[in-house]
Amino acid sequence: MKSLLLLATGGTIAGCADDSATLNNYTAGVLGGDALLAAVPQLQDLATISVEQVANVDSADLLFEHWRALVARIRDAFAAEPELAGVVITHGTNTLEETAWLLQLLIDDPRPVVLVGAMRPATALSADGPLNLLQAVQVALSPEARGHGVLVVMDGQIHGAQRVTKVATQGVGAFASPGGGPLGWVDDAGVHLAAVLESRPKPLAQLQLPKHWPGVAIVYGCVDPSVDGITALLGAGVRGFVFTGTGAGQLSETERSALEAWNGPFPLMLRSNRCGSGPVYGDADQAQLGLLPAGCLNPQKARVLLILALIAGLNQSGLASLCEAS
């Protein structure tokens, strides 16, 4: 029988409410990973699963130290256990996509790493967590999942880490992959995934993560924006900015003027967009201000990339190359 590692971090999938009819007023991160495993007895017939509790929090409360622990444990497990089929991570849905993208950038192994969560607490009528967990394990054990990188399994769909995002606050079908769609699906007939077309290089796969991570701010574009926040962040020495621009990542003249007036050292900066779908391309005028395009990354994932670039000590040219490789 294949072996699998389950890393539990909390979230709604481990959440509990006072009664089974409650879907919103609950406490996330109550049940441990062993309890989640015990709630799905069918898993015993699929694999030998070892459970480790990395955290037990609402994913809005995840810290860099939790990310550091996840990366270290997965790297160690893959290095020490060649027979390990893959890793499943139970996770809150609020920041699941950020953790998935972080791991995609830092884990270089063909074996699957699968993140899974739930939109209803474990105590709810028709809780979605148990089936999601079962299907995540099925995907992690599937030969078809090898080489696809970090995956997210929710509501029967299999998403890639780069594009997946949470698109709804309610309902079990709360995840989508704008601009690409899911990579496949999982059902009673098995795991359905297309063949891997090519493997992309992972320049950050050997990056060692420090205890203290650099600060990167997200600035949101809107009508008649105030530049006080930009000026304050620049003055505070923030090392990275992600501008969530309007349209295709556009900055207003007000925001541009604030950057042009700044006389101090510039942080590394990326441009994303607030549209929810569609790429941000390079622009000569924006590039003169040091603003690089984040491609198809949403603002929160662009921030993850920028944080890791800063940890790696990359300059603007290095960041541009990293964006292209990612």
Cα gap 126→225, rounded to integer Å: 44
Residue in 216, 241, 211 with CA at minimum distance from that of residue 67 = 211
State both tokens at 109. Answer: 């192994």
301: phi then psi, degrees, rounded to nearest 5: -75, -35
131: phi then psi, degrees, rounded to nearest 5: -65, -40
Cα gap 61→109, rounded to integer Å: 28
Which is the catalytic residue, given 9, 12, 90, 99? 12
List the alpha helices (DSSP H) in the chain: 33-38, 64-80, 96-106, 129-141, 228-235, 253-260, 284-288, 299-311, 316-325
Q: How many CB atoms lie within 10 A of CB 60?
A: 10
Active site residue 12: yes
State both tokens at 199. Answer: 């493997």
Kindly list the catalytic residues.
12
